[in-house]
Chain A
């Protein structure tokens, strides 16, 4: 029996005034599946998740969680949904335990069950020993984990995560990944929104590439990388803009994008053996080579291939 689709979005559309935030988005997430929602900032990821979480109403389209239509049975839908917002939605004055417990009880759990589940959730995200500490005393990474605990304490059938690792330390990131994988393995359908393609590559069974509110592509990570081609890429950084045509004549080497004003050049190679020759050419390019990097093909490449621009800008990376 094939896994059931617990998260279903059909032809979702949402606009804010003249700006179209989500345009005809259709996808689904099955039980036990972790699906990444990948796109740059402003791509419509948060709007999409907000519609799925019934925080905002779509202008058009349908949302179903565990079979419940958001327009018909929003309350029953919400009981089956866990949502971890991008912002840390916690009560700073309350303790970690109190935060988890209050949301567990609001989800309909009785006080004893809510308390038991809260303790379990805190243990799951590695905060069992900080249960009584107020939120404001926790590190950013711990607050992210607590944010996750609040969203999963009632054991939802579908879990929506909106960039849950933003600003998180590696230790917390690992704990979050572990928890999410455990949730998925228990049969929860997870929709994981991020602009970190590495997280998608590592965590997700499938990914949805969106930009400008549109679904560009969806599939497994391998399928999406395939969309972007299998050629390695080389990024070189000069102290100024090098002479035009400095790498011409090397078979299979082509610029992916125009040379940037700050001296960065992104090239696609036919194979890794062309690196030595390219470095030699760079030395004679009229500019001093400051650094270079070689990339194997990945989702970012696929995104660039699909959109002509990077998945993350410098600011986002920083």
Chain B
């Protein structure tokens, strides 16, 4: 079976290579439609670079700086061409006569002046209801523009305030420095005054002390002279009395010696008395002589203390304190203004503008390249149609050509033939999607997401589902003529409902519910997740798996039904 599968597989590629119409439908036709759709329906996601600009009619009743800024900014927008009009009536005529003129902007008189004074201003926008879609897209751009202009004005004002604050801070800094220098000079003067005062006071004090010392010396000399005379008289008296004491001392010494001699005599008497010694009565008690120290004292000479003043009696300086007048305090020295906080403080900011920035929910830029929708969308549509051509019409062609019968007669199993054909067409479909995405990336700069390889999952799943779907159609439609009307109707409906041509959210709820049963819906969800929402590969895996599951269901139905085709061709 594998051999037959491989041969049929190769043969499918040969047939494709020889079929210019199919090759055209595989690549050229989708690219043409994608290009046309991308540039024509770009308004759904905003105007695209390179497309014909929209005309915005401007009635400038203000003629001020704001109006000029607005017109200039509009003129810089690649998608917009500014058409001036003298009045609203003239603007109406222009909008009615031009296809791509969806709205008119009226700038009221005094707008610039009001804006400059900080008041709110409002532009008047008149739209053509028939061009509501285009107007909506332009209004979005206009809204961005207004916010940009207002932000720019705020930024300029903020810059001016900041510059003034900077200048003021410089002046304050300079004044503070000057005041600081003056204070330093005053401090120095004060120190000089205090030094001079101290010097003067020291000199006065020294002279006073010197006078006191001279007087004191004179007094001391007189006292010492008087004391010397007194001392001489006392020394004389003492010398007499000391001589008397010496006599007493010598007597006492002799008396002590007599006591020792009596004691010895008594002892000898008692010895001589023998047994009568006891009869000898005790001698009378000698008085206790003064001890030796007392006796020594009696012998010591009197010495008169030196009666002389070495120093003059002190005279307390306080008594002669001299007070110089104090240096007057500098008025205002302690009340210098403190500029430090004022210098450090920044200028008070103008309240900001509450705005918004668009970001894609999955991160990155919220700007959508229209082709991010249309390359996968129309790629899927053409994949379905080409698969109808390759599998559906191809199968019936082979039956009608008789080649299917011939293959069966060759002994190739039906399963092998089917597997080879479907596998080849699956790979052709996958290759078609890869080439379309590559062309979209090169030609239209489509976003491939942060996990580009993840796009292969839905591409492979829808290619498989489309091949199986085409097999079902080939079984439902009996003839070549029936395959394309029936299949194309089903393929186009699946594409439209599945969100290939416009965002799925445009559809009513009941249609969105029905779309859940279609492989196109899940495939587009996977592509949108990776390409537009900027999500990772996991966001594509689930929808791709569901697409694959739907493809499996198609395949089961197709295989069961395809037996009918083979019955037409053989036993």
**A interface, CB within 8 angstroms of B:** 53-57, 75, 78-79, 81, 83, 85, 87-94, 98, 102-103, 105-108, 134, 150
Contacts and interface: CB of A to CB of B under 8 A. Distances in A.
B569 interface: yes
B559 interface: no
Contacts of A55: 405, 408-409, 569-571
Interface stretch (B12-20, B221-229, B456-464, B480-488): B12-20
A105 B4 CA distance: 8
20 contacts: A53-B409, A54-B408, A54-B570, A54-B571, A55-B409, A55-B571, A75-B411, A83-B406, A88-B401, A88-B402, A89-B401, A89-B402, A91-B15, A91-B401, A93-B19, A103-B410, A106-B411, A107-B410, A108-B411, A134-B18
A91 B571 CA distance: 22
B377 to A, nearest CB: 30
Nearest to A107: B410
A89 B406 contact: yes
B176 interface: no
4 nearest CB pairs, A to B: A89-B402, A93-B18, A106-B410, A78-B411
B403 A91 contact: yes
A89 B7 contact: no
A56 B568 CA distance: 9
B18 A94 contact: yes
Interface of B: 3-4, 7, 11, 14-15, 18-19, 401-403, 405-412, 569-571
A106 B7 contact: yes
B571 A78 contact: no
A79 B406 contact: no
A98 B14 contact: yes
A299 B402 CA distance: 31
Nearest to A136: B18
A267 B48 CA distance: 87
B15 A94 contact: yes
A296 to B, nearest CB: 38
Contact of A81 (B11, B402, B409, B569): B409
B551 to A, nearest CB: 27
A87 B400 CA distance: 9
Contacts of A108: 3, 411
A89 B408 CA distance: 12
Interface centre among B3, B18, B406, B570, by most chain A C-beta atoms within 10 angstroms, is B406
A54 B409 CA distance: 7
Contact of A78 (B401, B402, B410, B569): B410
Contacts of A81: 409
Given A91-B403, A106-B412, 15 more contacts: A53-B409, A54-B571, A55-B408, A78-B410, A78-B411, A79-B411, A85-B402, A90-B402, A94-B15, A94-B18, A98-B14, A106-B4, A106-B411, A108-B411, A134-B18
A78 to B, nearest CB: 4
